Structure 1
Amino acid sequence: MNQRLTQEQLNQIIAEVQGLQLRQEAEFDQQQIQQILQELNLPPELLDEALIQLGRRQALEMQQRRNKMIAFGVVGAIIIAIAGTIFFNQQQSSLLANVSVQQDNITLADNRNLQSVSRQSNPELFYRVILKDAPIGKKLSLACNWIDPSGQVVKQNNYQTREIKTSVWDTYCRYTLNSAAPAGNWKAEMLLEGRKISEKTFAVE
């Protein structure tokens, strides 16, 4: 061997040789172990069985440690998933909480605003709402209640918008008023995920 070494490499080799020597001194061969057992008045013929049992125990301990690490990993993944879900839901709730109404009107199909309407013509009414701060890229779950003068909900619309493209978003729901509808002050209201965001009163004659 004619390889030249630096002083740092030489120091590393010396440390490695010292470590090997210490490990060899700390290890016992089978003959030495049998002598120790005889000195302790223990049957040396049980040495092989003891070595087998020791190997099994060490393998079991390694398996248990591995199982613990796997269990910790699974629990950690579950915690991260739960935290991510909570964070996502909070973000969604925050986005929905910002949605409000910029303008709302009761109209006919021709988009003509109404303050009052005759029930005799069986008109189809539209509750048109302009949302502001709508979450772009999301679809909103909306509902409309059409409420007669006694406070009874006579019609409910439930629908989902298309994917929101702009923060100001037009939407509507509709109801056909029949000639038997009671006269008086009616009300249409819109709800976002169960939260009322607008209402409009109109007269039925």
Structure 2
Amino acid sequence: MLVSTFISVLVVAGIFYSVFSWQKYQQALAKMMAIDSRITLEEDNKHNLEIINRDGSPRLHFRVTFKDTPVGKPLSLGCDWINPQGEIIHQNRYQTRTVEKEIWHSRCRYRIGNSSIPGTWKVEIFSGDRLLREQTFQVE
């Protein structure tokens, strides 16, 4: 009887700890925000590309800097690449490595092809269903 009571107490304590940890992580995620972003090619020259020439099918990188990231756990992020007609052409879903500091950099990628529709494109990055940053660019 004593052993089963002890095991029950441990199970209940484990459940409470898990729920508390999950809530704390969700609160930390809610505080996280994007403070900078830019679109670059593979080589990051620290400048934002506003006009993309589709010749040669360049691989674009949407580089985002976050602040107040929850340290000690990876982030689950996603990006949508949206063409001028409002269609999601490509989606990235990924998990970062374990976050080591409150200022954190991440990126998602997409290759613009010769057949890509010219005009104003948009890329969005989010955590769950929370939009963290969006950026537009021109494809010629």
TM-score of the alignment, normalized to the shorter chain, above 0.5: yes
1:114 aligns with 2:49: yes
Question: Which residue, out of 175, 186, 190, partners 2:125?
Answer: 190
The superposition leaves residues 7-45 of structure 1 with CA deviations (integer Å, 9 ceiling, x where unpaired) of xxxxxxxxxxxxxxxxxxxxxxxxxxxxxxxxxxxxxxx
1: CA distance, partners of 2:6 / 2:98: 38
Structure 1 gap ranges (5+): 1-66
- Give the match for residue 85 of structure 1: 18
Select between 106-115 and 175-184 the one with higher mean Cα deviation.
106-115
1:164 aligns with 2:99: yes
The superposition leaves residues 116-168 of structure 1 with CA deviations (integer Å, 9 ceiling, x where unpaired) of 11222311111010111112222111111111112211111122212222211
Deviation at 1:84, TM superposition (A): 1.2
- Give the match for residue 80 of structure 2: 145
1: CA distance, partners of 2:5 / 2:97: 43
Identity %: 35
Query: Which structure features the higher share of strand residues?
Result: 2
Q: In the TM superposition, what are the counterparts of 1:2-151 in structure 2 within 5 Å?
A: 67=1, 69-111=2-44, 112-151=47-86
Could you say what the CA RMSD is over the residues aligned between the two structures, in angstroms? 1.7
Structure possessing the higher radius of gyration over alpha carbons = 1
In structure 2, do the counterparts of structure 1 residues 72 and 165 end up closer, same or farther at CA, with 3 Å as the change threshold?
A: closer
Aligned residues: 138
The superposition leaves residues 85-138 of structure 1 with CA deviations (integer Å, 9 ceiling, x where unpaired) of 110110111111111101011112232421111222311111010111112222
1:176 aligns with 2:111: yes
Select between 173-182 and 131-140 the one with higher mean Cα deviation.
131-140
Letter in 1 for 2:31: N
Q: Which has the higher contact order (CA 8 A, sep 6+)?
A: 2
Provide the TM-score with structure 1 as the length reference: 0.62
Query: Which structure features the higher share of helix residues?
Result: 1
Structure 2 gap ranges (5+): none
